Amino acid sequence: MAGRLLPNLTNPLDRPAAVVPFPVARRGGRPAKLPEADLRAAVEEGLKDPEIAERFGCSRQYVYLQRKRHGLLRPKGPRRSKSRFAPKVATDRAVTMPPVDHPALAEDRTLYPATVTGVDGLLNVLVAGANHWKIGGEIRKGRWAGFPVYALTLEERATCPASCRHWRSCFGNHMHFAKRIRHGEALEDRLAHEVAILQSRHPRGFAVRLHVLGDFYSERYVALWASLIACFPALHVFGFTARIDGRRDPVARALVQLTLAHWDRFALRFSNAPVDECSTVTVEHPRQVPADAVLCPQQTGKTESCSTCALCWQSRRRIAFLQH
| Same domain as 130, residue 155 | yes
> Are 65 and 101 found together in one domain?
no
From CA 58, how far away is CA 62, in angstroms rounded?
Answer: 7
Q: pLDDT tens-digit profile of 25-46?
A: 444 555 567 888 888 888 888 8
Instruction: Give the mean model confidence (pLDDT) for residues 96-117.
Output: 95
**How much is the pLDDT for 252?**
97
Does residue 17 lie within any of the structural domains?
A: no
Rounded to an integer, what distance in angstroms lies between the CA atom of residue 204 and that of residue 137?
16
Within a domain: 29: no
Residue 247 domain-assigned (yes or no): yes
Q: What pLDDT does residue 17 have?
A: 46
Percent of the chain, pLDDT > 70? 86
Reported confidence tier of residue 20, pLDDT bands at 50, 70, 90: very low
Q: What is the pLDDT of residues 170-211, one digit of tens each?
A: 989 999 999 999 999 999 999 999 999 999 999 999 999 999
So what's the pLDDT on residue 284? Answer: 93
Furthest-apart CA pair in the chain: how many Å? 64
Please name the residues in contact with 165: beta carbons below 8 A apart, sequence gap of 6 or more: 242, 271, 272, 282
Classify residue 253: in a domain, yes or no. yes
Position 24 pLDDT exceeds 50: no
Determine the Cα–Cα distance for residues 119 and 115; give it in Å rounded to an integer.
13
The per-residue pLDDT of the chain, averaged, comes to 88
- pLDDT for the residue numbered 68: 86
Taking the C-alpha atoms of residue 169 and residue 187, their distance in angstroms, rounded to an integer, is: 26
Q: Is residue 21 over pLDDT 70?
A: no
CA atoms within 13 A on the CB side of 281: 22
Could you tell me the residue range of the domain that residue 295 belongs to?
78-322
Q: Is residue 19 part of a domain?
A: no
**In this predicted structure, what is the pLDDT of residue 84?**
55
Please check the confidence at residue 280 and state whether its pLDDT lies above 60: yes
Please tell me the predicted confidence (pLDDT) of residue 2.
55
Q: For residue 21, is it within any domain?
A: no
* Same domain? 160 vs 271: yes
Is 321 strand, coil or helix? strand
> Percent of the chain scored above 90 by pLDDT?
66
Is the pLDDT assigned to residue 151 strictly greater than 80? Answer: yes
Cα–Cα distance, 268 to 211 (Å, whole number): 10
61 and 82 inside one domain: no
What is the mean pLDDT of the segment spanning 127-138? 92
Domain-embedded: residue 116: yes
Beta bridge partners of 266: 237
Residue 23 has pLDDT above 70, yes or no: no
Q: Is the pLDDT of residue 121 over 70?
A: yes
From the list 142, 120, 139, 121, the residue with the least C-alpha distance to 129 is: 139
My answer on whether 100 and 204 are in the same domain is yes
Number of domains in the chain: 2
